Every structure is written in structure tokens, then in C-alpha cells.
Amino acid sequence: MLAFVLVIGLVTALPLAVRPASAHRLVTVGEYELTVGWKVEPAVAGYVNGLDLGIQHRFSNGTTVWVVGVAGNLTAVLTTGPKSVSKALEPQADRDGWYTFDVIPTRVGTYTVRLQGTLGTTPVDVMVPLDDVSPASDFAFPVADQPASDLQSRLDAANAAIAGLQVQLTLAVALAVLGILMAAAGVMMGRRMSRGPRKEP
């Protein structure tokens, strides 16, 4: 019974001990294991986020320690499409071995981070894909009302289209009336000509 309780306790506590989320990626560089992802997941365009980088040293004897004090040894370049920016890494508060930089991803889509430098005597140069950044509309509730200026612009465009249709309709009616008048004049001229005096043989 006691063993069963211990197993249940471990299973319950395991999700709390696992850090970070499954969306993070693990990269092995020599004896070091890098855990890389967004600090806030899912990442949403227009909102503050940052890199979530954990570094562990896995020794050959099986022991593992979090690596501290290496922020200055690594550089990070965040890239999306043709755009890239270099960011300085800073240690995260109250999380030994974890590093970050702040950023507001403004564009929806795929981002990657390139980490370069050294860990001890081990050179580091890895490109790690991050989870795609989603549009804020995917999570917005309730849907924001359109600004009055946008509504007025649409109304103005609709009024302009209506005015254009009215002009076309007026022109079409005028042409139709003109056609009817010309046809009537032709008929009348034909009748007059048919009623003219006939020459006797």
C-alpha cells in the first residue's frame, strides 16, 4: 500500500518537476544539453515574450549540474524571414542555469534562434527552431469592435459605390429614352412618307 502511495505521489509530482514545456527543444553540444524555447507559450504576435534557454552539464560519471555564469560566453541571434536581431543573454532570476532575452515578436510565423560561443572549452554554434508565433486574433475574446474611423471609411466607400451606380443608371435611362425617341421619330417619318400623294400612271 505504501509503495502504491509513493508511486501515485511521484506521478502527480512529475509534471511539476518537468521544466520546461514539451514545446521546448533539446540540443546536445558535447557534454552540454541545451533546452530552448519561448519563455511564454504559445507565443503571440504583439505581446512580450523572450527566449527560455536552460544549460546543463552532463558529466561522464552520470552527474548533471546546471551551468551558471556563461551568459557572456554566448550570443543569440533571433531570426524570422529575412529579419534578424542580435540579443544579449541574461540569467533568469531564481532559476540557476537558465538564460533569457526579452522581445516582442511582431510578425506571425516561424522564428529561429542561433546560439554561438563557448561552454567551457566546447564551441557552440547551433540553430534552433522555435514554435511558430500565432496571431492575437486566435486567442482574442470577445472580438474587438472595429474603430469608428474604419466603419466610417467603409461607409464612405459604400456611398461612393452607390453614387457611381446611380450615375451609370441615369446614363443608361437617358440613352434608352433617346433611343425610344429616335425610333418614334423614324416611325412617324415613315408614316408621313407612306401617306404622300401618289402619281397617276
Domain total in the chain: 2
Q: For the residues 109-113, what does the mean pLDDT come to?
A: 98
Among 66, 73, 68, smallest CA distance to 33 is for 66
Structural domain contains residue 46: yes
State the pLDDT at residue 176. 84
Any domain includes 4: no
**Same domain for 121 and 40?**
yes
pTM value is: 0.62
For 68, which DSSP code?
-
Q: Checking phi first, is residue 46 left (phi over 0); if not, alpha (psi -120 to 50) or beta?
A: left
Task: Tell me the per-residue pLDDT of 29-81, one tens digit each, with 9 for 90 and over.
Answer: 999 999 999 999 999 999 999 999 999 999 999 999 999 999 999 999 999 99
Strand partners, 141: none
Kindly report the backbone phi and psi dihedral angles of residue 179, in degrees, each rounded to the nearest multiple of 5, phi listed first: -65, -40
Strand partners, 122: 119
CA 91, CA 105: separation in Å to the nearest integer? 21
Residues 178 and 84 in one domain: no
Q: What would the DSSP string read from start to end of 105-165? A: --S-EEEEEEEEEEETTEEEEEEEEEEEEBPGGGT-SSPPPPPHHHHHHHHHHHHHHHHHH
Residues 106 and 43 in one domain: yes
Does the residue 184 lie in any domain? yes
pLDDT, position 89: 97
